[in-house]
Amino acid sequence: MLNRTRPFSHVLEQLRSVNLRPTRQRLALAKLLFEKPDRHVTAEALHKEAAAEGARVSLATVYNTLHQFTEAGLLREIVIGTGCSYFDTNTNDHHHYYYEDTGRVEDVPVQHFRVVGDPEVPEGMVVRRVDVVVRLGS
Amino acid sequence: MLNRTRPFSHVLEQLRSVNLRPTRQRLALAKLLFEKPDRHVTAEALHKEAAAEGARVSLATVYNTLHQFTEAGLLREIVIGTGCSYFDTNTNDHHHYYYEDTGRVEDVPVQHFRVVGDPEVPEGMVVRRVDVVVRLGS
DNA sequence: GTGTTTGCAAAGTGTTTGCAATTTA
DNA sequence: TAAATTGCAAACACTTTGCAAACAC
């Protein structure tokens, strides 16, 4: 079993390397995000979580921080419905289950499910990413 | 080569079968959607297209109609960014290219690109759909 | 005529932005 | 102290909704 928790020193380094100051807000959010492995959070959810812990962070800052962390390579943004974005703490190549009833997002164990073949990309185009979402109902 | 254009009589039948009256607006939109094969439209784009043809259809009606057609099985809704929904006239199982620069959506020829493996779905859950989006940049 | 559909304008939702006050290095 | 960051409230983009007038059968 791989431990997917990201060491905190690594988070700090990565923030430094993109010139993001480790402010109280960013540290609080980073703790919530990276102390447990494989999280999939929405901005709203993370905001509530922070509030529940007593960390005062405005919703606007949560949005800004999630995007800054994404640009720094600490998070991956995934879009599932038009409703809202999810942010995934696992930045490795992998796919997702989406539970339509609860809105929950989970990683698909990559060995069980793969995309094969060459997508024959048009001249001058590059594959930036392949997103796979398995929509589950009951 | 498969002709993916949907015969108009079929559209009419399908509307009847779900108790949607073939109104002027629905017919105009259906013409725009199904007279060419493999279209990927947003509500805004379809609205503009209708206006350009002189068909007066309100944006609210375009939204309603797209959803009604989707429920009737004539369209498939695809989500790519949080921005907006695309509606695809190809309801067969297939995947999509997304051109990040232009926002254009295109079908991936299915023989070039497949998803393999068993997604090991949790107890009581059913795979409703697997969405694959290949994001292209330059 | 009766029930359906439309269009408008208003409301809704998730997200972004402008800017003064605050914090960090 | 200079530059970065925050929080608020307003702005935003896309979408949905309530309701009276218009339409289809």
In this predicted model, what pLDDT tens digit does every residue of A43-101 receive, in sequence order? 999 999 999 999 999 999 999 999 999 999 999 999 998 889 999 999 998 999 999 99
E strands, B3-111, where? 40-41, 76-79, 85-88, 95-99, 105-108
Task: Check whether residue A94 has its CB closer than 7 Å to nucleic acid strand C.
Answer: no
- Distance CA(A5)–CA(A132), nearest Å, equals 23
Any CB–CB contact under 8 A between B79 and chain A? Answer: yes
* Distance of C1' in C11 from CA in B85, Å: 21
Q: Which domains does chain B have, with CATH numbers?
A: 9-136 (1.10.10.10)
pLDDT digits (tens, 9 = 90+) for B67-117: 999 999 999 999 998 888 999 999 998 999 999 999 999 998 776 677 777
Any CB–CB contact under 8 A between A99 and chain B? Answer: yes
Give residue A109's pLDDT band: very low, low, confident or very high (50, 70, 90).
confident
